[in-house]
Structure 1
Amino acid sequence: MWHTGYGIEINLSLPDLGHPDRPDLLREITASVADRDPQLLECLAHHEGRECQSEAGGKSPWMFIRRGRIGGRRPLVASHLPITHKATPTESAQHKATKERVVGTATRYGLDAEAEVPVANRRSVSDAVVTGPDGIRIGWEIQYHHLSPSSVHRRSVNAVEHGITPLWVAKDRTASLIDRAPWARVDDMPWKDIADGKEMLIRGGYRHLQVWKCVPSSERHCLVSEGAGHCGAIHADWFVPALCLPEKKPVHIEDLVLQSATGESVPVYVPNRGSGRAGRHMWVPASDRALWEEIVGEKAPLPAAPDQEGDDVITFSEQEIDRTCRAGEEGWFVSDARPLRDLNQPTGGFTLPRMPVQRSRDPIQVTHVERVAASAALGCLPWELGPCAGCGQLMHRYGRNAAMYCRACRDVLNGR
């Protein structure tokens, strides 16, 4: 392609794009079209006066850069900008119906709500902004067609800087916005069902914290031991409602409209703890986030820059520049299907060391964090914790439904 600003050819197959003297060139040309001159990048064939296939197919000779996905590689691909960009009729109808449902729900709950709200600097417009009684502002972004991760991040950061918490809504499990900002996924429903108030569940993006002691009687698997082993530690992890023990009630879009604006449900970012992912964004009950932050001893804000995950790293084939316009050619650089991003899998969680044992008459040395986690795992209040009379492990020792021996010691005493 041709860079109209610098008057140079760009070879997307080279790591330096053919211009080692311009280290910022890649960042400049991959910026959102909204943030640069739309006519910055030109089809090379068009620039040289040769046939440009795009003009006969509703596209322009001006270009943008996207990442392809070919057999595990992520090459840079030059694509022609449409003469005008419009969502499909189906997407437009679903988008409008969802936006109106969010605003209508907020109004019924007595919340302030407004559609098509420009952010202070007017560089972006929120589909709907719902304001809670304490001034919490939630910016609903209904995104039913593909949007680049950088655009999601840019608009999210812009919203946060102006006192708005972004809440992105997707209908596709492959949507690139998933885990790039606070999000929720709904079903791909006909617009009339959305408008008529048919049940609209949050299928992804909302989770509950589960804390459990890793012992043989636990219904959950160990987070650190392979196979079916149990480590005796306390684990904490996030699960979608259907995978909670016991199962939690599903969250409807009306619930999230109300709870996000009142602060009953809040966004949380859980950084990667060992997998190939950069981290996960999710909406959670406010009490669960408070418990999580107390257990892990940290608060993770919205990332300051978009993280590149393993499958986002650009690859370069280092070939000669292609001077032919390929617009409209069947099979030319067709990308593999986008991978599923909403897998409803646990996050990797957090593990606290095995609880200390009381020896003879020495006092129990238990940290505040260990006590908080143990009370959550055992389902009792912190001051109801105490040592098992047999093994000394921390257990529900005092208060209602307490016992002197833990389950393992009771099994031994009963000859099991």
Structure 2
Amino acid sequence: MANGVWHTKYRIEINLSLPDLGHPDRPDLLGEIMTSVADRDPGLLECLAHHEGRACLSETGGKSPWMFVRRGRVGGRRPLVASHLPVTHRATPAESEQHKATKERIVATASRYGLDAKAEVATANRRSISDALVTGPGGIRIGWEIQYHHLGPSSVHRRSVTAVENQMTPLWVAKDKAAALIDRAPWARVDDMPWREIAGGKEMVIRGGYRYLQVWKCVPSSPRHCPRTEGAGHCEQIHAEWFLPALCHPEKGPVHIEDLVLSSATGESVPVYVPNRGGGRAGRHMWVPAADCRLWQELTGQPAPLPDAPPSEEDDAITFTEQEIDRTCRAGEEGRHTSDARPVRDLGQPTGGRTLDRLPTKRADRPMVITPVERVAAAAALGCPPWEVGPCSQCGQLMRRYGRNAAMACDLCRIALNQSC
């Protein structure tokens, strides 16, 4: 792999395996060379072999001697590596046609629904361009970003924040389960389809990035296993988690890209960010029905934050091996030696799980107090309005106590009373 590069502006040689890049007098150098090629002079970094007058295999093959720097992925390490520009920064003709067809389909769909839609819209400060901008009747602006080839996390963060600063909600579209944009901004994943099928109107299902909130009471009759106990145990508490449509009970129908074009612009679907409780990634981004979002906020008291990014991520920490510069041009080998397979980010598993604290029990010395959150959660789990929720007259657990077809005691207590008679 190439661990050295020539800086054409400063006229210096950079050793990418050293923490200071071989230039302790330039503390900002790392940030400068990691800047996206779209935001700098493409000829800023040069292949060392080309600079020294030796054969550059990339130029010999009719391509460019200019380079960019990225994080590699080798055996769990993340070294900085220099690659020739055409390796990852130019989409193939097939990818370009896919990109164009998807963009045109989004704009056409929005126009068919009577929404304002434009392609290739620049932000006010010209720092970013959305592939498609769809504006809803209430002024909601969705900036669609179709990203079918690899884009680094820093670029996703930067472009998402720029969109938010310009009063747009970014909506990234990927086709790869390992795409770096997944869970780093609001996103949706579609199938890898030929551009002719996209342009021809073939069904485009959202395979990842759209979820529904499921709330259930963890009892033996529940169709779900308890997320807190091993095996098939049940904790008698109320759980709330986000599921893909096909994993819901009852199963939800698939969400198509046309559905998301309309519902995101009208506010019927909204982006939600759910922080992780433990280590690892900071959290999950997803699109959800607005009603589910409101229920989630009532249950957790958690606002839906803007799609901002944490300052750093463990899996992107740079590894410095402190080696001598390899002055050989490695064009053609870069893909094999600098990138192990990227980890799958779209796992499709339930996420954002929350369990309410144990519900209050009835005591003889004071009346039972039910908090608003407990009432909302119980209503969601029981499938009834909150005002119909009340305590079982025997065990005190929350149940459908009031309204039509209500009962004084829960099913388990009624069974126990019948058995004792």
**2: CA distance, partners of 1:39 / 1:158:** 25
Tell me, yes or no, if structure 1 residue 206 matches structure 2 residue 210: yes
How do 1:10-89 and structure 2 match up within 5 A? 10-82=14-86, 86-89=90-93
CA contact (8 A) 2:271 2:304 kept: no
- Match of residue 119 from structure 1: 123
- Match of residue 346 from structure 1: 350
How do 1:131-210 and structure 2 match up within 5 A? 131-210=135-214
Identity %: 77
CA contact (8 A) 1:59 1:82 kept: yes
| CA-atom RMSD in angstroms | 2.1
CA contact (8 A) 1:43 1:325 kept: yes
**2: CA distance, partners of 1:211 / 1:70:** 41
**1: CA distance, partners of 2:65 / 2:191:** 37
* Corresponding residue SS for 1:10: strand
- Match of residue 233 from structure 1: 237
- Match of residue 377 from structure 1: 381
1:82 is displaced (CA, Å) by 2.9
What is the TM-score when the length of structure 1 is the normalising length? 0.94
- Return closer, same or farther for 1:230/1:193 CA change in 2, 3 Å cut-off: same
- Return closer, same or farther for 1:296/1:70 CA change in 2, 3 Å cut-off: same
- Match of residue 315 from structure 1: 319
Which amino acid is the alignment partner of residue 246 of structure 1?
P
- Stretches of structure 2 that go unaligned for 5 or more consecutive residues are none
CA contact (8 A) 1:58 1:83 kept: no
Which amino acid is the alignment partner of residue 406 of structure 2?
A
Matched residues, number: 416
- Return closer, same or farther for 1:313/1:362 CA change in 2, 3 Å cut-off: same
* Corresponding residue SS for 2:287: strand
- Match of residue 94 from structure 1: 98
- Return closer, same or farther for 1:131/1:332 CA change in 2, 3 Å cut-off: closer
The match for 1:272 among 267, 270, 276 is: 276
Which amino acid is the alignment partner of residue 152 of structure 1?
V
**2: CA distance, partners of 1:277 / 1:219:** 29
How do 1:256-405 and structure 2 match up within 5 A? 256-274=260-278, 276-306=280-310, 308-329=312-333, 333-360=337-364, 362-405=366-409
**2: CA distance, partners of 1:107 / 1:178:** 27
- Return closer, same or farther for 1:137/1:332 CA change in 2, 3 Å cut-off: closer
1:222 is displaced (CA, Å) by 2.1
**2: CA distance, partners of 1:14 / 1:267:** 40
**1: CA distance, partners of 2:418 / 2:76:** 57
**1: CA distance, partners of 2:145 / 2:166:** 15
**1: CA distance, partners of 2:209 / 2:133:** 19
**1: CA distance, partners of 2:312 / 2:237:** 32
Cα distance per residue 1:303-340 (max 9 Å; x no partner) = 53355444322222222222222222487514211221
**1: CA distance, partners of 2:62 / 2:89:** 10
- Return closer, same or farther for 1:72/1:89 CA change in 2, 3 Å cut-off: same
